[in-house]
Amino acid sequence: EVSEMSEKSKQNVAHGLAWSYYIGYLKIVLPRVKKSMEEYSRANPNVLACSETWKLHILVPLSCDIYDDLEKADSNIQYLTDLTETILTRAGIKKRVYKHSLYTIRDKDNKLWHCAVEYATPLQSLYAMSQDECAAFSREDRLEQAKLFYRTLEEILKGSKECAGTYRLIAYEESGEVEPHFLSREILWHLWQQHHEEYAVCEGNHLHAPSTTLNSTELNLQISTSDLPQPLRSDCF
Alpha-carbon span 13 to 123, nearest angstrom: 11
Question: 72: pLDDT confidence band, cut at 50, 70 and 90?
Answer: very high
Q: What mean pLDDT, rounded, does the chain reach?
A: 81
pLDDT score for 185: 95
Neighbours of 21 (CB within 10 A): 21
pLDDT at 223 over 50: no
Residue 31 lies in a domain: no
pLDDT score for 138: 79
Alpha-carbon span 60 to 122, nearest angstrom: 10
Residue 66 lies in a domain: yes
| SS3 state of residue 39 | helix
Residue 132 lies in a domain: yes
Q: Side-chain half-sphere of 170: how many Cα atoms within 13 Å?
A: 25
Residue 162 lies in a domain: yes
Residue 37 lies in a domain: no
The domain that contains 116 carries what CATH number? 3.40.50.12100
Alpha-carbon span 176 to 116, nearest angstrom: 27
Query: How many domains are there within the chain?
Result: 1
**What is the per-residue burial (b if ≥16 Cβ within 10 Å, else e) of 130-151?**
beeeebebeeebbbbbbbbbbb
Residue 160 lies in a domain: yes
> What is the extent of the structural domain holding 106?
52-81+101-175+182-197
> Which pLDDT tens digit goes with each residue over 157-174?
999 999 999 999 999 998
Q: What whole-number percentage of the chain has pLDDT above 90?
A: 54
> Which pLDDT tens digit goes with each residue over 94-153?
988 999 999 999 999 999 999 999 999 999 988 888 877 766 677 888 889 999 999 999
Residue 171 lies in a domain: yes
pLDDT score for 91: 83
